[in-house]
Amino acid sequence: MIRVEDLQKTFQTERGEVRAVQDVNFEVPEGELCILLGPSGCGKTTTLKMVNRLIPRTSGKIYINERDTDEYDIVELRRHIGYVIQQIGLFPNMTVEENICVVPKMLGWSKKQQHERAADLVNMVALDQSVLSRYPKELSGGQQQRVGLCRGLAGDPPVLLMDEPFGAIDPINREIIQDEFLKMQADLKKTILFVSHDIDEAVKMGDKIAIFRDGKLVQFGTPDNLLAHPVNDFVADFVGGDRELKRMRLIKISEALKREVPTVSATDTLDTAAKKVEQAGANHIVVLDDDGRPEGVLTQGDLDSKGSCGDSAHPLRTTVQSIKDLRTAVSRMFTYNTDWLAVVDDDGKFVGEISYRSITEMLHASRKRGEKKGAA
Amino acid sequence: MALPATGRVGRIAFYGGLFALGALAQGSGLLPEIAYYWPDIEYLGREHLFLVGVSAGLAIGVGVPLGVFLTRPFMRGTAESVMQVVNLGQTIPTLAVLALSMSVLGIGVVPAIFALWVYSLLPIVRNTYAGILNVPPAIHEAARGMGMTNNQILWRIELPNALYVMIAGIRTAVVINIGTAPLAFLIGGGGLGQLIFTGIDLFNTGMMLAGAIPTALMAVVVDFLLGLIAFYFIPRGVNPLR
Ligand SMILES: Nc1ncnc2c1ncn2[C@@H]1O[C@H](COP(=O)(O)OP(=O)(O)O)[C@@H](O)[C@H]1O
Ligand SMILES: [Mg+2]
C-alpha cells in the first residue's frame, strides 16, 4: 500500500519558485497499479521520486505499508522499491545479467539464485537467454527497456515505481510489452505507481488513474470512472472526445452479452426454429453443431420452407470470443456490416449473442451506476 | 576522445621518422657509434625508467583520488576553479617547472621526480574528473534509486564508466613524462638526458642519438603497452575500441 498525504514540492530556481507538486493526496491499495497521468511538466515524475526519496519533499507524508517513508533507512527503502526510470539508465559497464542482479547482489543472494532470477526475468519479458551475457550497447531500445523492467523487478520488491517505462518503444512493441507486463502483474500483484502521459496506456494498464495538472491532482479513480464522469473540462479534454469508445475497451464481451437467446441444432426441423424465433421475438436464430459450436444462422425468410435447419442455414461470417473487449466486438460488427455477433468461449462453444443495442445499454447502465456511486 | 586518433597519427609519423633516422645512421656510419654507448644506454636507461616509474606511479596514486575527490558533491562549488588552476598549470613550460622545483628542492633525483610528478599529475586529474562527470545523470539516478550507497556508486558505476577516459589520461601523462624526463639531467636527476645534452654540447651526434633514440623507443613501447591494457582491461560495454 502507498499513501500520499498533503504532498508538496517547491523547487527554488533562479527564476523564482516552481510549485511542482501541490496538496496531493491519494492511496494505492496493496497489489494495485496506479497510473500518474497528465501532460508534460505537471509533476508526475517529481511525485514519483519523492516516494523513494530521490527528491526531498517540501512537506507532506508518504507511507508505504502504513510506515512513514522517513522512518526507513534511505538505502533500505530504495532496495525494497523497484525503480524503472524514464531514460532506462542501464549500466553500460555491466552485462545484462549484472545489470539485472544489482539489487539481488546487494541483498546478498547467492550467485546461483542471482543467475536463476536473471534467467527467469528475461524469459518473462520474452527475451532470449543469450542477452544475459551481452552489454546494453549491444541491445535495441526496446530490448533495453525490457531489461530495465527486469532490473526493477529483480529484488522482488513489493512496491514498484515506473516512470514512462515503455516510452522509448515503438507503438507495436509497446502494445506487446504492455500485454506481457499485465500478465506478469496478474501473477505478481505488486503495488505499482506508473507514470504515463498516454491516456490509452493509462486506461489499459491502470486499476486506478490519478490525473495531474500543474502540480495538482484533479481526479483520482478507476479508468471507467474517469472516462464516464470526468470532473471538469480539463479531464474531459485530456481523456479525449472518444472517451465512450475508450470505455468499451474496459468492458469484456462476457459482461454485456445476452445469454438467453434461442438456438437450434442442425437436425431440428425448420418448424421448430420458426416457433423458437417467434417465442423470443427475434429475427434470426443460430444453428449449433453436435458440440455446441455455432455452425450457421437462419433468418426469418429461411423459415417458411420445409426441411432441416442444417440444410437451410447460411454459414456464419464471423464469431467473437467472450474474453475480448467491447471494442473488438464493435470493430468486428463494422467489418462484417452486421448489428449482432455470435459469441463463443475459449473452446469455440456458443455462449450467447452481442448486439449494438446490448452494448449501448451496457455503457449507459454502468454510467448510471457510477453516477450513483459518485453521489454517495 | 580525439586522443587515440592523434596518437595513431603521431605513432605513424614517429615510425617513419625512426626509419629515416635508421637509414641515415647506417649510411653515415652512425650506428656503430651509437652501439659504442650501449653500456651507458643500459645504465642511464634504467635511471630514466626509475624517474618515469616513480613520478608517474605517484602521479597516478595522487591524481586519480584527487580527480575523484573533485567530483564529490560537496566539492561542486570549488571543483571548477581547481580545474582552472590545473589547466593553467599545464601551460607552464616544463623548464620553468624544473627551475621552480630546483629552486625549492635543490638538485638531484628528488626535485626531478617532483617536477615530472607535477607535470604528469595534470592530465590524470583532468581526465579522471571529466570521465566521472561525463557519466550520464540517468545512470547515476538509476543507481541511487536502486539503493546503492555512494561508495558502491563510485566503485561499481562511476569508475568503471570513466575508466576509458582515465586510462587515456594516464597514457598521455606517461608518454609526456618519458619525453620530458631527459630534462631531469639539467638539475642532476640523471637519465638518458645525460647522453642527449652532453652529445649536443660536444657536437657528438652519435652520443646524442644514443640518448634520443632509446627515449623515443621507450615512449612508443610504453604507450603501446598501455594501449594493450586499455584494450583488454576495460570491460567491453564501455570500451569504444571493442
Ligand atoms: N530539479 C528541478 N528544479 C527546478 N524545477 C524542476 C526540477 N525538476 C522538475 N522541475 C519542474 O517541476 C515541474 C514538474 O516536473 P516533472 O515532475 O518532471 O513533470 P512530469 O514528469 O509530469 O513531466 C516542471 O515545471 C519542471 O520544470
Ligand atoms: Mg516525467
CB A167 less than 6 A from any atom of ligand 1: no
Gap between the Cα atoms of B37 and B204, Å rounded? 12
Q: Is residue A136 helix, strand or coil?
A: helix
* Cα Rg, chain B, nearest whole Å: 21
pLDDT in tens, A19-63: 999 999 999 999 999 999 999 999 999 999 999 999 999 999 999
In a domain, B39, yes or no: no
Please answer yes or no on whether B237 and A92 come within 8 Å at the CB atom.
yes
Say if residue A191's pLDDT is above 90: yes
Structural element, H or E, at residue A172 = helix A171-188
CA angle B166, B170, B176 (to 5 degrees): 145
User: Which ipTM did the prediction report?
Assistant: 0.82
Q: Which residues of A touch B163 (CB under 8 A)?
A: 93
pTM for this prediction: 0.82
Could you count the other beta carbons within 10 Å of the beta carbon of residue A200? 16
pLDDT of B5 reads 46
In a domain, B15, yes or no: no
CB A40 less than 6 A from any atom of ligand 1: yes
Chain A and chain B share a number of CB contacts under 8 A equal to 76
Give nearest CA residue, ligand 1 atom 14: A43
**A141 pLDDT tier (thresholds 50, 70, 90):** confident
Give nearest CA residue, ligand 1 atom 24: A41
Ligand 2 centroid distance, CA of A169 (Å) = 16
Domain range holding B230?
Answer: 50-238
Ligand 1 centroid distance, CA of A195 (Å) = 14
pLDDT in tens, A214-233: 999 999 999 999 999 999 99
- First-to-final CA distance of chain A: 25
Q: What ranges make up the beta strands (E) of A14-129?
A: 16-28, 33-37, 59-64, 67-68, 81-84
Ligand 2 centroid distance, CA of A46 (Å) = 7
Gap between the Cα atoms of B76 and A314, Å rounded? 80
Ligand 2 centroid distance, CA of A118 (Å) = 28
Which of A81, A93, A147 to probe by mutation at the B interface, max B CB count within 10 Å? A93
Average model confidence (pLDDT) across chain A: 92
Phi-psi domain of B107 (left: phi exceeds 0; alpha: psi -120 through 50; beta: other): beta
Q: Which residues of B touch A102 (CB under 8 A)?
A: 143, 146, 148, 156
pLDDT in tens, A231-275: 999 999 998 888 888 888 888 899 889 988 999 998 888 888 888
In a domain, B175, yes or no: yes
Q: Can you tell me which residue has the cell 606511479?
A: B57
Which of B141, B144, B146 to probe by mutation at the A interface, max A CB count within 10 Å? B146
pLDDT of B7 reads 59
**A356 to A167, A260, A331, A353, A361: CA distances (angstroms):** 35, 17, 11, 10, 9
Please answer yes or no on whether B142 and A94 come within 8 Å at the CB atom.
no
Q: Which residues of B touch A89 (CB under 8 A)?
A: 136, 138-139, 141-142
Span A144-161, mean pLDDT? 94
Span A360-370, mean pLDDT? 83
CB A12 less than 6 A from any atom of ligand 1: no
Comparing alpha-carbon positions, the chain A residue that sits nearest to B144 is: A54
Dihedral of the alpha carbons of B170, B175, B181, B182, in degrees to the nearest 10: 180
CB A158 less than 6 A from any atom of ligand 1: no
Gap between the Cα atoms of A149 and B139, Å rounded? 15
pLDDT of A311 reads 86
Gap between the Cα atoms of B3 and B227, Å rounded? 12
pLDDT of B242 reads 79
Say if residue A113's pLDDT is above 90: yes
Give nearest CA residue, ligand 1 atom 7: A11
CB A45 less than 6 A from any atom of ligand 1: yes
Could you count the other beta carbons within 10 Å of the beta carbon of residue A189? 13
Ligand 1 centroid distance, CA of A181 (Å) = 27
Q: Does B236 touch chain A (CB under 8 A)?
A: yes
CB A9 less than 6 A from any atom of ligand 1: no
Closest CA relative to residue A327, chosen from A204, A187, A214: A204
How many structural domains does chain B have?
A: 1
- Residue A319 pairs in a beta bridge with A342
Dihedral of the alpha carbons of B107, B113, B119, B122, in degrees to the nearest 10: -140
pLDDT of B90 reads 77
pLDDT of B9 reads 66
CA angle B205, B207, B213 (to 5 degrees): 90
pLDDT of A376 reads 38
Residue ranges of domains in chain A, CATH in brackets: 2-241 (3.40.50.300), 254-361 (3.10.580.10)
Query: Consecutive 10-residue runs of chain B (242 residues): their mean pLDDT?
Result: 53 75 71 86 94 96 96 89 84 85 90 92 94 95 95 95 94 94 91 94 91 93 93 88 80
pLDDT of B235 reads 87
* Inter-residue contact A257 to A241 (CB < 8 Å): no
The DSSP secondary structure of chain B, one letter per residue, reads --HHHHHHHHHHHHHHHHHHHHHHHHHTTHHHHHHTTHHHHHHHHHHHHHHHHHHHHHHHHHHHHHHHHHHSGGGHHHHHHHHHHHHHHHHS-HHHHHHHHHHHH-SSHHHHHHHHHHHHHHHHHHHHHHHHHTS-HHHHHHHHHTT--HHHIIIIIIHHHHHHHHHHHHHHHHHHHHHHGGGGGGGT--STHHHHHHHHHTT-HHHHHHHHHHHHHHHHHHHHHHHHHHHHHS-GGG-TT-
pLDDT of B31 reads 78
Gap between the Cα atoms of A13 and A16, Å rounded? 5
In a domain, B137, yes or no: yes
Q: What is the 3-state secondary structure (H, E, C) of B36-75?
A: CCHHHHHHHHHHHHHHHHHHHHHHHHHHHHHHHHHHCHHH
- What's B96's domain CATH number? 1.10.3720.10
Gap between the Cα atoms of B54 and B184, Å rounded? 13
Could you count the other beta carbons within 10 Å of the beta carbon of residue B241? 11
Dihedral of the alpha carbons of B147, B149, B150, B151, in degrees to the nearest 10: -140
The β-bridge relationship of strands A2-13 and A16-28 is antiparallel
CB A263 less than 6 A from any atom of ligand 1: no
pLDDT in tens, A327-347: 999 999 999 999 999 999 999
Comparing alpha-carbon positions, the chain B residue that sits nearest to A107 is: B147
